[in-house]
Amino acid sequence: MTDAMKQQNKWLTLPGMLFFFSAYLLLGFKSFDWQAFMMAVLVPLVFFMASAILPRLIPADRVLLALVNFLCGLGILVLFRLNPERGFGQATNYLVGLVGMIGCLLVVRFWPQIKWTMPLIVVVSIGLMALPLLIGTVKNGARAWVRIAGVNFQPSEIIKVALLLSCAFMLSRRMVLPALAFSGICLGLLFLQKDLGTALLYYAITLILVYVSTGSLSFLALGTLGAGAGAVVGYTMNTYVQNRVRIWQNPWEDPYGISYQVVQSMVAMVNGGPWGTGLGLGTASVIPEVETDFIFAAVFHEFGLIFGMCVILMYLMIFLRGVGVARRARSRFHTLLALGCSCFIAIQTFVIIGGNINLIPLTGVTLPFLSYGGTSMVSSLCIMGLLQGVANANERGLEEDQLIAMLGEDS
Residues 118 and 24 in one domain: no
Same domain, 227 and 361: yes
**Do both 15 and 161 map to the same domain?**
no
Residues 274 and 369 in one domain: yes
Question: Longest Cα pair distance anywhere in the chain, in angstroms?
Answer: 79
Gap between the Cα atoms of 387 and 392, Å rounded: 9
In-domain check, residue 52: no
37 Cβ contact list (under 8 Å, min separation 6): 24, 25, 28
Are 74 and 5 contained in the same domain?
A: no
The reply to whether 116 falls in a domain is yes
Give the Cα separation of 317 and 328 in Å (integer): 16
DSSP assignment of 1-16, as one string? --HHHHHHHHHHHHHH
Q: What is the pLDDT of residue 74?
A: 94
Which range of residues forms the domain containing residue 2? Answer: 1-45
Amino acid identity at 410:
D
- Does residue 277 sit in the same domain as residue 247? yes
Q: Is 18 exposed, middle or buried (0-12, 13-18, 19+ CB in 10 A)?
A: exposed
Helix 374-410 to helix 332-356 angle, to the nearest 10 degrees? Answer: 140
Residue 325 counted as domain residue: yes
Q: Do 203 and 277 fall into the same domain?
A: yes
Asked if residue 53 belongs to a domain, the reply is no
Structural domain includes residue 50: no
DSSP state of 132: H
239 plus 308 within the same structural domain: yes
Task: Judge whether 150 lies within some domain.
Answer: yes
CB contact at 8 A, 379 and 201: no
**Under 8 Å between Cβ of 142 and 194:** yes
**Per residue in 301-313, is it b (16+ CB within 10 Å) or e — as a string?**
bbbbeebbeebee
SS percent in the chain: helix, strand, coil, step 5: 80, 5, 15
148 three-state secondary structure = strand
Nearest to 347 by CA among 218, 208, 246: 208
* Residue 164 and residue 18 in one domain: no
Q: How many separate domains does the chain show? A: 2
Which amino acid is residue 260, in one-letter code?
Y
**What string of pLDDT tens digits covers the 411 residues of the chain?**
455 555 555 667 888 889 999 999 988 888 787 888 999 899 999 998 888 888 888 878 888 999 999 999 999 999 999 888 999 999 999 999 999 999 999 999 998 899 888 999 999 999 988 888 888 777 766 777 888 777 788 888 889 999 999 999 999 998 889 999 999 899 888 888 888 788 888 989 999 999 998 888 888 888 888 777 777 777 777 677 777 888 888 888 877 888 888 888 888 888 888 888 888 888 888 888 888 888 999 999 999 999 999 999 999 999 999 999 999 988 899 999 999 999 999 999 998 998 888 888 887 788 999 999 888 899 999 999 999 999 888 887 665 656 666 665 555
Residues 312 and 188 in one domain: yes
Closest to 251 in 3D by CA, of 269, 266, 239, 236 = 266
- Asked whether residue 51 is assigned to any structural domain, the reply reads no
Same domain, 13 and 66: no
> pTM for the complete prediction?
0.91
Cα–Cα dist 190/198, whole Å: 7
For residues 75 and 138, membership in a common domain is answered with yes
Alpha-carbon distance of 14 to 253, in angstroms, equals 47
- The SS3 assignment for 238 reads coil
For residues 291 and 88, the answer to whether their CB atoms sit within 8 Å is no
Identify the CA nearest to 13 among candidates 57, 43, 58: 43
**pLDDT at site 14:** 86
